[in-house]
Amino acid sequence: MNHFAIQTNLFADQYIQSHPNLGPYSTVHKWVPTNAGEMKKFFRLLLVMGVVKKPTVALYWSTDALFQTPLFGAVMPWNRFLLLLKFFHINDNRNAPNPDDINRDRLYKIRPLLDELFEKFQSVYTPGPSVVVDESLLLWKGRLVFRQYLPLKTARFGIKIFCMCEDSGYMYRFRVYTGKQDPTSAIDTALPTECAELSVSEKIVAYLMLPLLDQGSTVWMDNWYTSCRLYHYLHHHKTNACGTIRSNRIPPEVKNAKLGPGQVSAFRSGPLLCLKYHDKRDVHMLTTQHNEILVPAKKGRGRPSLTSSSTLKPMCIDEYNCNMGGVDKQEQMLHPYSIARKTMKWYKKLSLQLIHTALLNSYILYQKCGGCSSFLTFQHDVAAAFLFGDADVSFDTADKSEALTRLTERHFPDKLKPTESWSKPQARCRVCSKHGVRHDVTTFCSSCPSKPGLCSVPCFQRWHTQMRYWD
């Protein structure tokens, strides 16, 4: 957060100096330097926006009774949030490469964040024996030199990210695709010399699998990556592989086989097994860890097959269907609560997506340590911890709940009513006590969970409008 605050302040100063003729009513004139604590609140508001969906950002600060969400106005003014969003920056523009240089780093804007997350994802956790290599697509329809078109993806247009994930959805390694002609994205320098003859798609798998080679892992991939040459390389490094393969990469003995429903044709060459299976259509597989054995097919959705032979299928296809969904699972968990909003700058949206991925990785590790809450609850707790908690003040779950209640709901003062054993009821003012002053009062708030005693003026207002009411 300190890095974000420093770079945001630096970019704001650069922007103000380069725009001396700003209009008299420009909100930029209201800019004041930010700090790490305010940046935490900024990001946690983004986390809340991922859960509470509204069509425009302005509606989060709306005072209309139909759309009002008082939390946002209590945490940060609307104009301040806009300024932080406008000047949010990660790297110093003064050291940015020349845009006309073909050898420039196209990810310079977010390079510190990329490098930090890339190292942290690998240092805090080692995935299990089964991993998946696949691509993810972040929606982006604006002008961008490395924007991709993938018609089979939901977004279709966007920024492609090569991912290596565990079956739990944990992203272990990744690489943002920046174009075929970008020299800085070349991974040849990180690969051993024996990978020099591999194709582009094969080098992606070899690069992502570098830390897990020679450890007996199994990698699953689709037909864009699969090839005999790559599988020989992985087998040489004691790594199993399995995936679909394109028909133009398989032996003619398998490709030209005429099969009926449920029939299999297989061809083995050393450790490689190439297999063709026909159910509703031909499926081509390449594997180094399976044989031709058939297993009962799991009952799926949809209309059942008309042939009894199709109740059996090759084991490699059955296990491929069970293990190939690591990247898809990650996208399914992120999408409902995504914090990546539509922006004019691609690097802001990509950086928010990566930060949200880091939060998901933290949640997966939390689950592996015995946590049982949902990702929605986890995201809520993280946002609440930074919105209502400070480094110098300890808050438990009840305090966070009360802080949310006292700042967002409608409250009215009430009088303590006498009882048989308490003829003159009084309560100690919560705000005055925080300042070291004892003040017994007869008014309290009946809507707050702890029913705190409060002075009518001014403590009742401070308690319900200020997050740090003790300052």
Confidence of residue 154 (pLDDT cuts 50, 70, 90): confident
Q: How confident is the model at residue 4 (pLDDT cuts 50, 70, 90)?
A: very high
* Cα distance between residue 3 and residue 343, in whole Å: 22
What pLDDT does 391 receive?
A: 39
The pLDDT of residue 179: 84
Question: What is the reported pLDDT for 222?
Answer: 92
Domain ranges within the chain, ordered by starting residue: 2-97+342-381, 223-321, 396-465
Question: How do residues 380-425 score in pLDDT, each as one tens digit?
Answer: 888 887 766 543 334 444 455 677 678 777 888 999 988 888 888 9
Least confident of 13-27, 276-290, 390-404, 421-435: 390-404
Q: Give the lowest-confidence range in 171-180, 298-307, 326-335, 430-439.
A: 298-307
pTM of the model: 0.81
Higher pLDDT, 52 or 309: 52
> pLDDT tens digits for 51-78?
999 999 999 999 887 888 888 888 889 9
- The interaxial angle of helices 111-123 and 346-368, nearest 10 deg, is 10
Two tokens, residue 21: 């003729």
Is the per-residue pLDDT at 262 higher than 60? yes
Q: Please, which contacts does 181-189 make with residues 24 or more away whose CB atoms are closer than 8 Å? A: 181/102, 182/106, 182/146, 183/102, 183/103, 184/103, 184/104, 184/105, 184/106, 184/107, 185/106
Residue 176 has pLDDT above 90, yes or no: yes
**Average pLDDT value for the chain:** 87
